[in-house]
Amino acid sequence: MKMKNFRHLLTWLFVAIFALGIILPVSQAAQAEGNPEIPDVSGYFPESTLVYLDTPAEFRLIYSDASVKDVTSLKSSNKKVATVKKMVNPEMPDAVIIRVTPKKAGKTKVSFKFKHDNKTYKFKMNVVVKKYENPFKSLKVGTLSLAKYLDLANHTEAINAHVPLKKALSKKKLNFTLKSGWKLQNLALNHAGTWKMIKNGQKITIKKGDEIDFQIRDSKGNDIWFYFFFD
């Protein structure tokens, strides 16, 4: 996860598969979200997440010698709302992907068992499928507005937006406002191949190949990710 391929390690997230976001050790993410702690494994499988209609979401378990055989009993409690499958992306051979494909608005629960170092862990995730909603009131880096990418009719591109960058942005302030009910959970910048956590109002430098990732949460505790790739 150029890190252009960072989006393939998750989330938004998000799709969004989510799909697909900020990669945290499972021991940290699971502790926060109610899923089991697993040593030597990274990825993120939240307890509750949003998935927008027509936008498959992907979630990852990343570990050495990853195999889909290590994931068993994978199911969606309501296949009319969303279906699930496991797979490995050739670009990410050390990751088992849990892909959630939305079918209609509603709720379902995704669950599976994961075997690691001769131990079996149980995972579960509440999934809310709904129509795309832009959670931002405004979003800018300096004078560069990212708002139009959030308002695209094709919400897959809104969640995984590629932003043309004519020239580097040096020490420009990141400013954004979320709509009522939404809260920021994590915000990260990949600059020149190095990830770091950033915050609203911070001055940042962006070059081609960089990425900004938002993990945000709605009023009901569901997470979703937005990824911006600067090309």
Pick the closest to residue 42 from 3, 88, 10 (CA basis): 10
Q: d(Cα 89, Cα 95) in Å, to the nearest integer? A: 7
Domain limit, last residue, from 130, 147, 173: 130
Instruction: Tell me the pTM.
Output: 0.81
Structural domain span for residue 53: 4-130
Residues 66 and 145 in one domain: no
Residues 104 and 125 in one domain: yes
Q: d(Cα 113, Cα 121) in Å, to the nearest integer? A: 6
Tally of domains within the chain: 2
Residues 49 and 124 in one domain: yes
Residues 109 and 144 in one domain: no
Residues 160 and 103 in one domain: no
Residues 85 and 196 in one domain: no
Domain limit, last residue, from 63, 95, 130: 130
Buried b (16+ CB within 10 A) or exposed e, 52-72: beebbbbbbbbbeebeeebbe
pLDDT tens, N- to C-terminus, the chain (231 residues): 444 444 443 333 333 333 333 344 455 455 446 688 888 888 878 889 999 998 899 898 899 889 999 999 999 999 999 999 999 988 888 999 999 999 999 999 999 999 999 999 999 999 999 999 899 999 999 999 998 898 877 788 888 899 999 899 999 999 999 999 999 999 999 999 999 999 999 999 999 999 999 999 999 999 999 999 999
